[in-house]
Amino acid sequence: MPVPDALEFFIDPGRCIGCQACIQACTECDTHKGQSMIQLDYVDRAHSTQTVPVVCLHCDSPTCAEVCPADAIKRTEDGIVHTARKPRCIACNNCVLACPFGVPKMQTEMNLMMKCDMCYDRTSVGLKPWCASACPSQALAFGTREEMARLRPHAKPVNTFQFGMQTIRTKVNIMVPRDSAVEIVDVTAAMHEPTIGHEMLDDVFEPGPDRGDA
């Protein structure tokens, strides 16, 4: 059974608390038990507890599949990009190097590329993926667009990303402020933007003339 069109995946990094429930949950997934396919990192722990979880974004035209010389990576009609098919995968690592989001993982001991398949065993029978089921802050959420609009009135889903010359549309959405003009997340441009907010954080603990601490 395909994953129903109405049900979508939403990533809201602003909500992430870094608890790693998603990573632990991912290792419970029956399609790759014992292995987490999620990337969760601190952005800059020296200055913030901000963490960002990354699952497979499930591209409309998956770069991983496009660069696969063995045609091992399949995208089903419901938009899910699957782990490489074992008989075909030659463990060449092309997909790992090419994916702009850094999603596929090479399991050298198995000679196989593995990646998030949005818990196909669950989502194809109407259940939520493991990570979005468990996520205590619902930074990873799975549901309908209408539900999300109701639950997150200040955010909107965006699913187009720019990496230099490459524009990528994905099945998975990322939440951005609703009032922002952003329709495309320009990832490479963002890498060159100065980080903001550190000065504000320092200020929180700055001794001021109106308080007693030193």
Partner 1 sequence: MDGPARTTETTPSLDRETIAQFGPHLAYAKDARLDSGVEPDKYVKTHCCFCGQQCGMQLKVKDNLVIGVEPWYEFPFNKGMMCPKGIKRYLQQAHPDRLLHAYEKDTASPGGFKTMAYDAAIRKTAGEIERIQATYGRDAFALLSGASLTTEKTYLMGKFAHMCLRTANIDYNGRLCMVSAGAGNKKAFGIDRAANPWDDILGADVILVSGANIAECAPITTNYVWQAREQGAKVIVVDPRITPIARTCDLFLPVKPGRDTALFNGILHLMIEHDWIDQQFIATHTVGFDAVAAEVREWTPQRTAEVTGIAVKSIEQAAEWWGTAKTSFLCHARGLEHHSHGVQNVLSAINVVLASGRIGRPNCGYATITGQGNGQGGREHGQKCDQLPGGRDLANPEHRGYVAGVWGMDPADLPQPGVDAYEIIRKIDRGEIKGLLSLCFNPVVSLPDNNFVRQALEKLEYYAVIDFFMSESARYATVVLPGSLQEEDEGTVTQTEGRVIRINKAVECPGEARPDWQIIQDIAKALGREQGLAFASPGEMFEELRLASKGGIADYSGISYERIEKNFGVFWPCPSEVPDGVAMPGPQGTPRLFEPGSWNPVAKGAGPFYFPDGKARLNVTAYVGPAEDVDEEFPIILTTGRVVSQFLSGNQTRRIGPLVDHCPEPRIEMHPRLATRLGITDGDWATAESRRGNCTLRASVVTTIRPDTVFIPYHWAGRKSANQLTISAQDPISKIPEYKVCAVRVRKADAPPAYADSLEPQQ
Q: How far apart are CA 8 and CA 114, in angstroms?
A: 22
Q: Tokens for 125, please give them.
A: 């029978």
Nearer to partner 1, 17 or 189 (CB): 17
Rounded least distance, CB 83 to partner 1, Å: 13
Per-residue binder mask for partner 1 (CB under 8 A), 111-150, x = binder: -----------------x----xxxxxx------------
Asked if residue 105 binds partner 1 (CB under 8 A), the reply is no
Asked if residue 153 binds partner 1 (CB under 8 A), the reply is yes
3-state secondary structure of 24: helix
Ranges within 46-85 binding partner 1 (CB under 8 A) = 46-51
Residue with tokens 């632990």: 24
CB atoms within 10 A of CB 80: 20
Phi, psi (degrees; rounded to nearest 5) at 66: -65, -35
Asked if residue 15 binds partner 1 (CB under 8 A), the reply is yes
Rounded least distance, CB 130 to partner 1, Å: 8
Asked if residue 28 binds partner 1 (CB under 8 A), the reply is yes
**CA-to-CA separations, 137 to 17, 65, 95, in angstroms, rounded:** 7, 32, 31
